[in-house]
Amino acid sequence: MLNVPQIRSDFPILATEVYPGVPLIYLDSAASSQKPVQVIEAMDDYYRHTNANVHRGIHRLSEEATNAYEAARAKIARFINAPDPAEVIYVSNTTEGINLVAYSWGRANIQAGDEILLTEMEHHANLVPWQVLAEEKGAVIKYVPFLADGTLDLTAVPALLTERTKIFAFTAVSNVFGTVNPVKQLVKLAHDAGAIALVDAAQAAPRMPLDVQDWDCDFMAFSAHKMCGPTGIGILYGKRALLEAMPPFQAGGDMIRRVTLEGSTWNELPWKFEAGTPAIAEGIGFGAAVDYLNGLGMENVHAHEQFITNYALEALSEVGGLRVIGPPASQRGGVTAFTLEGIHPHDIAELLDKDGIAIRAGHHCAMPLHHKLGINSTARASFYVHTTTEEIDKLVASLHRAKKVFRL
């Protein structure tokens, strides 16, 4: 298990008082995680001592910046067990990674009448790009339904995968239910049907080991900012053969091999998909975040989240009128969305904020999921490596106070 008191000392923001005498209790890591001092210092060190553009200079600073930036890519490749760092493409976030696949691979391979398979629990980032593509190409989108407990109806998948299915894109961990989906099984079903598989790992990468070779997924996208890293950078992993066959997503500097007035040829992987000056400091910070999580051990991170989630679900069950959305702790990550009878989720979040407790309220970029449940929004508490049982107790106490405010 993790040494949580030591870990908490690594996160400067956790010493913040939201209001005078009211310490911060941060339960919104599913939206964006806090950053340990190791990541902050790595980025600060770059700006203080190595600030230069990468790939384009032969002076010492440029070479040092390039080495640090590319070393981070290699760390990330090892983190997900990618066969080759060249298969790890820097993008701005998970959303851009999925859009890259939809625009580049999708527009080259999806035709009228082809089918795209998604699930009903997808984040908008893994839904809207495919809707745009399907409308443009005349393709058909199908959806794997979820069951009342927030798990996928796996029995429905084989029938939904047909000879016309080109891609099955799905989340590894739901950002609302917290459901941990059987990625390896779903990828195999896609491949057996002749389709490729894309995994949205935005909520999985921060909280459990990833292994793209074991999963055998064709694409996988995730963001640094949910896993102790900076905003503005993420990763698209893709199998080399697919990436090499895909046209560039954006054009400009660094993604070219040669340019003439008559035409251009493209750079090799991974730079073919990385036009323009990249997020250099963020890439270095991403590498530092991977170092930090590796130091904790992803199995330990996952075990701590399961422990905290189980504790939270038991504690929340004591709040009358509260309904937790999704499966039991054994089937979910550290994400707990809920409703509280008689109080709108936005009011819950505002009242909890007065006690220094930061949670999320709304549809969490998953409007179709909420529509199927017959609710407009939920409150969501999400946990991470620094979350303690004492913070969960304060969450429950604050919810009881919220009920008193509303005289419930």
Q: Give the integer Cα–Cα distance in Å for 353 and 360.
A: 10
Which DSSP state fits 28? Answer: B
- Asked whether 13 and 36 are in contact (CB, 8 A), the reply is no
pLDDT value, residue 255:
83
CATH number for 155: 3.40.640.10
Neighbour count for residue 276 (Cβ, 10 Å): 10
Domain that holds residue 159: 40-294
Asked if 254 and 319 sit in the same domain, the reply is: no
Tokens coding 354: 């007065």
pLDDT value, residue 256:
87
Strands (E), 277-354: 322-325, 335-340
Let me know if residue 49 belongs to a domain.
Answer: yes
CATH number for 23: 3.90.1150.10
The catalytic residue positions are: 365
Which DSSP state fits 247? Answer: P
3-state secondary structure of 232: coil
Q: Give the integer Cα–Cα distance in Å for 257 and 310.
A: 53
Walk along the chain (408 residues) and give the pLDDT tens digit of each residue. 899 999 999 999 999 999 999 999 999 999 999 999 999 999 999 999 999 999 978 899 999 999 999 999 999 999 999 999 999 999 999 999 999 999 999 999 999 999 999 999 999 999 999 999 999 999 999 999 999 999 999 999 999 999 999 999 999 999 999 999 999 999 999 999 999 999 999 999 999 999 999 999 999 999 999 999 999 999 999 999 999 999 999 888 888 889 889 899 888 999 999 999 999 999 999 999 999 999 999 999 999 999 999 999 999 999 999 999 999 999 999 999 999 999 999 999 999 999 999 999 999 999 999 999 999 999 999 999 999 999 999 999 999 999 999 987
pLDDT value, residue 57:
81
Asked if 339 and 214 sit in the same domain, the reply is: no
Q: Is the preceding peptide bond at 270 cis, omega within 30 degrees of 0?
A: yes
Asked if 10 and 154 sit in the same domain, the reply is: no
* DSSP labels, 66-94: HHHHHHHHHHHHHHTT-S-GGGEEEESSH
Neighbour count for residue 67 (Cβ, 10 Å): 12
Let me know if residue 26 belongs to a domain.
Answer: yes
Q: Give the integer Cα–Cα distance in Å for 112 and 163.
A: 14
Into how many domains does the chain fold?
2
pLDDT value, residue 253:
84
Q: Which amino acid is at 159?
A: A
Q: Please work out, in degrees rounded to the nearest 5, the angle formed at the alpha carbon of residue 377 by the alpha carbons of 373 and 380.
A: 105
pLDDT value, residue 185:
98
Q: Give the integer Cα–Cα distance in Å for 146 and 267.
A: 42
Which of 294, 315, 348 is a domain's end point?
294
* DSSP labels, 35-53: --HHHHHHHHHIIIII---
Closest CA relative to residue 65, chosen from 284, 286, 252: 284
Which of 255, 277, 294 is a domain's end point?
294
- Asked whether 134 and 165 are in contact (CB, 8 A), the reply is no
Let me know if residue 23 belongs to a domain.
Answer: yes
Q: Give the integer Cα–Cα distance in Å for 123 and 96.
A: 13
Closest CA relative to residue 403, chosen from 314, 322, 317, 315: 322
